[in-house]
Structure 1
Amino acid sequence: MEKRRIDEHTIFRFAGEQDTALILQFIRELAEYEKMEDQVSATEDLLKKTIFTDRKAEVIICEYDSHPAGFMLFFHNYSTFLGKPGIYIEDLYVKPFLRGKGLGGKLLSYAAELALERGCGRLEWSCLDWNEPSISFYKKKGAVPMDEWTVYRVSGEGLKKLAENGQTAGV
């Protein structure tokens, strides 16, 4: 398992299957912060399958003084305009009592390093519009909000119905 010492207190490492419970714990803590706890349906078994068996995403664990401090879950997307892959950060989370130590910025910088190493053309993520501390932080890091774009989502029953509509329409 690759580890990278960031400073005297901080280590980043790619998560392994043994980290599944920790990843789920971080997801739940993030959901609580975002006031979305009721939307977490992930389980350890599902995370093991999708992250470690099917390799649909990657996770970096941040350790501070040898203790789990946060995580970043990301996956590759693709830009047809650039003709290159990109990295999309789905979750970036640092435990509240460790915020202000620069860990979030270091995780973002590490993601940028990975993107460049992997020949990616960009690094992207979403942020809730009420989360002013994060928005301010991201702008200070050079991120630009994509105000002219709106994210659309279909999930759950809507996803099933859309799939069924395509089948009945002869698509």
Structure 2
Amino acid sequence: MSLLIRKAQRRDAEQIWRLMRELAEFEKYLDSFAITPAIVEECGFDKQPPDFHCLVAAENEKITGIAVYYFLPFTAQNRPAIYLKELYVDSAQRGRKIGEKLMQALKQQARLHKCGYIKWNVAPWNEQGKKFYARLGAQQNDQWLNYEWRV
């Protein structure tokens, strides 16, 4: 089978949701996971502009990986940035460089949209994730601390 990295389409919503749910389980926030396939459709495909964008790794019709992202339209560099919200590859498909191919496709999107950066967070306990991003040449930005304010 041939792996294809492409922009997500409406027909992918259920499979995107499945991988989002697997990521929630992996990152231990399944108890607060509130996304449904209908929400993926509405927020990613019905809204204009969409709340998020998504690249998928597909083999025939099976989605094996996702990169969910959105644009930060204004930054101090007067260029947009991409914020990678979720990168996930089906556990049975790991080791095939699918994550790397998704990240390279995301880099192409950043260049296409004249973005200055791609930004993301990694859980401190996710050693495999940290090694993966370092292997790509990404650098940890320890100049800022993450805060959140629940409303």
> Does TM, scored on the shorter chain, surpass 0.5?
yes
Tell me the residue number matched to 1:37: 30
Structure 2 gap ranges (5+)? none
Q: In the aligned structure 1, how far is the partner of 2:124 from the partner of 2:35?
A: 24
CA RMSD of aligned residues (A): 1.5
Tell me the residue number matched to 2:88: 93
Output the TM-score relative to the length of structure 2. Answer: 0.91
Residue 109 of structure 2 is aligned to residue 102 of structure 1? no
Letter in 2 for 1:117: L
Letter in 1 for 2:44: I
Question: How has the CA–CA distance of structure 1 residues 139 and 79 changed in structure 2, closer, same or farther, with 3 Å as cutoff?
Answer: farther
Output the TM-score relative to the length of structure 1. Answer: 0.81
Percent identity among equivalent residues? 28
The Cα of 1:70 is off from its aligned counterpart by 1.1
Q: In the aligned structure 2, how far is the partner of 1:88 from the partner of 1:17?
A: 21
Check the 8 A contact 2:82/2:117 in 1, yes or no: yes
Number of residues paired by the alignment? 149
Structure 1 gap ranges (5+)? 1-7, 160-171
Q: In the aligned structure 2, how far is the partner of 1:137 from the partner of 1:119?
A: 25
The Cα of 1:66 is off from its aligned counterpart by 5.0
Residue 64 of structure 2 is aligned to residue 69 of structure 1? yes
Greater RCO structure (CA 8 Å; 6+ sep): 2
- Cα shift readout 1:125-152 (whole Å, capped 9, x = no counterpart): 1110100011011011111111121111
The Cα of 1:65 is off from its aligned counterpart by 5.8
Question: Over alpha carbons, which structure has the higher Rg?
Answer: 1
3-state SS of paired residue (1:22): helix
The Cα of 1:78 is off from its aligned counterpart by 3.7
